[in-house]
Structure 1
Amino acid sequence: MLALAEEVKGRFQGDPSFEYSLAEINPEDAARLVQSGKEPVMKEEARLIATIEQIDRAVGIVPRGAFVKTPLGSVHENRHFEGLSLVEAKKLSSYFHFTEPTDLKNKTLMEKADLDPSTDFLNCLEHDIPQGKGSWSIQLEKGGSVVVLRSLLWLGLTFYHVPMTKQFGYVYFGTGEKNLDLPFML
C-alpha cells in the first residue's frame, strides 16, 4: 500500500472517504487487485497513513545521544541525555535519522573506529543526499536559545532542540508532497 500511495500525485482532497482510482495511477497493480477480488481504489485515509509513515522514515530525527543502544541491540531513551551544547547543536552531524540504519554497513573500519557504538548507531543527517546542508536548513531562534532544522525535501517539517536541555521534537505542517525539485533548486 505504501508504494501505491507514493505514486499518487497531487494534494490531499480533505475528505477521508475520497477514493483514488488505482487504474489511473498504476494499471498493472489495479489489474492484480481485480484478479484477487479486491477493488482497485485507495481511500484518502490510507494514503494519509502511508504518507505520514513515509515522512517519519525520511525525516524523523533525534539529537545525538538522546537514545542509546545496549550491547544486546535494544534501543532505549538515554536517561543521562542533558541536551547538546550550543556549538554541537549548530552542526548537522549532531542529528540522526530515527529509523533503521543503512549507512553504517557501508562505512570503512577507519570510519567506524571514530564512532561510539552506543550513541552512533543511526544514520547521520550530514550524509543525506544532496550532501551536506543541501536537504536541511539550520537556524538559531530566540537569540540562540532554540536550534531549528527544517527539511527542504519535505517542506513543512520543522525539528527543534533547546540546547542544554532534554527538549526536542518535530512537527509537520505541509501539503504531504515531497519536494522533487530539490536537486534543481541547489
Structure 2
Amino acid sequence: MDAEGLHVTVEYLSNSGVILSPEQKAALQISLPILRSDHKLKRVKLWGKVQGIKADYFIAHGVGEDELKDRKAVYSQDCLLWVLLPFATDEMISNAAKLMGRFTGDPSFINEYKYIRKTGDGETMQEESVTIEMKEEDRLAAVVASIDQEVSVVPRGAYIKNPLGGVRMNRSFEGLSIAECKDLSNFLHFREPQLENNKNALLSIDQSLNFLDSIEYDLPKGCWSLQFERGSGMVVLRSLIWFGLVSYHIPNTTKYGYFYCGTGERNNDLPFML
C-alpha cells in the first residue's frame, strides 16, 4: 500500500486483520517520506508486517523509475529506523523454503536445518548429514522475495509497459468494473512474466497493458479466495498459500494494493486441504 493515505488504506483492510496501532501509523507517516527523500526514490510502499516471537518486522518497498525492476526492500522494527534487506538469491530462497518455524524477531539469529544427503548408487551409496545455517535477516529477504514472486497482485491495466520495456503506472487506469472484479483473469501477478505467451510477445498496444501473468492459471486451483466487502464497494483477494496476503481494489477507482500480515510461513499443505 502507498505511504500516502496510509490511514485510509489500513481502514480498508481492517476486516482482514490488518491493524496498526496509532503510534505505529504516526511513526510510519513520518519515517516513510524521509526514507523516500534520503534514498531519492519515486515512491515508497508499505509492503507488510512479518510477525515474530519477540518482535515484528515491518517491510517497505522503495520504487524507482521502473515500477517492476527498480525496487528496494527495507525493514524496520520500530517503524522509524529502516535497514536495507539483502538481495535474495535463488540459493537463499531455496534454503529459506526448507526452514521451519516462526521468526524470532532477532535479525542476527542463526536458523539451522539438518537433513541426510545420499550420494552414489547401490553398494556405493553413502549418507552424510548436512546442516544449512541461515541468518534470520537473509531468511526474511528470501521470504519477502518469495511472496512478491508468488502472490503480489494488481488489477489488469493498472500498469503499462513502454516501448523501451520500462514499467510505469498507467495514468489512464480508471479501475475495474464490478463485473470485471468477479473474474480472476482480471488480476495479474506483479512480477516478471513467466508464461511463454507473455515472455516472448512482441510489444503492441494490447500487449503493453496485458504483459503480466493472470492469477487464474495459479495452481492448485482454488488457491485464491475472492470476496466482495462493503456491499460491492471493495473486492478482496486472499491467498491461501501465503496466509496473511490480502490484495484489495475498489471498483471504478484507482485505489488498489496489497499487504502482507502473517508469520512468513508458506502453507505447503494446501493441495491436501482443498
Q: TM-score, normalised by structure 2?
A: 0.57
What SS class does the counterpart of residue 168 from structure 2 fall into? strand
Q: Could you tell me how far apart the structure 2 residues matched to 1:177 and 1:19 are?
A: 17
| Inter-CA distance 43–77: structure 2 relative to 1 (3 Å threshold) | same
Matched with 2:157 is 65
| Inter-CA distance 141–70: structure 2 relative to 1 (3 Å threshold) | same
Q: Could you tell me how far apart the structure 2 residues matched to 1:13 and 1:72 are?
A: 43
Q: Is residue 234 of structure 2 the alignment partner of residue 143 of structure 1?
A: no
Letter in 2 for 1:121: F
Identity of aligned residues (%): 51
Matched with 1:125 is 215
| Inter-CA distance 26–148: structure 2 relative to 1 (3 Å threshold) | farther
Match of 2:177 among 74, 80, 85: 85
Structure 1: which 5+ residue stretches go unaligned?
35-39
Q: TM-score, normalised by structure 1?
A: 0.82
Matched with 1:2 is 93
Matched with 2:140 is 48
Asked whether the equivalents of residues 198 and 212 of structure 2 are also in contact (C-alpha less than 8 Å), the reply is: no
Q: Is residue 88 of structure 2 the alignment partner of residue 16 of structure 1?
A: no
Q: Could you tell me how far apart the structure 2 residues matched to 1:25 and 1:144 are?
A: 50
Asked whether the equivalents of residues 152 and 179 of structure 1 are also in contact (C-alpha less than 8 Å), the reply is: yes
What SS class does the counterpart of residue 262 from structure 2 fall into? coil
Structure 2: which 5+ residue stretches go unaligned?
1-91, 119-127
Letter in 2 for 1:12: F
Per-residue deviation, residues 107-159 of structure 1 (Å, max 9, x unmatched)? 9x9xx9xx92111111101011123xx11000001111010000011111100
Match of 2:167 among 72, 75, 91: 75
Q: CA deviation at 1:25?
A: 5.6
What SS class does the counterpart of residue 231 from structure 2 fall into? helix
Q: Could you tell me how far apart the structure 2 residues matched to 1:83 and 1:137 are?
A: 20
Q: Could you tell me how far apart the structure 2 residues matched to 1:152 and 1:100 are?
A: 22
Asked whether the equivalents of residues 65 and 81 of structure 1 are also in contact (C-alpha less than 8 Å), the reply is: yes
- Structure in which a larger fraction of residues adopt helix: 1
CA RMSD after TM alignment:
2.7
- Structure in which a larger fraction of residues adopt strand: 2
Matched with 2:122 is none
The number of residue pairs the alignment matches comes to 170
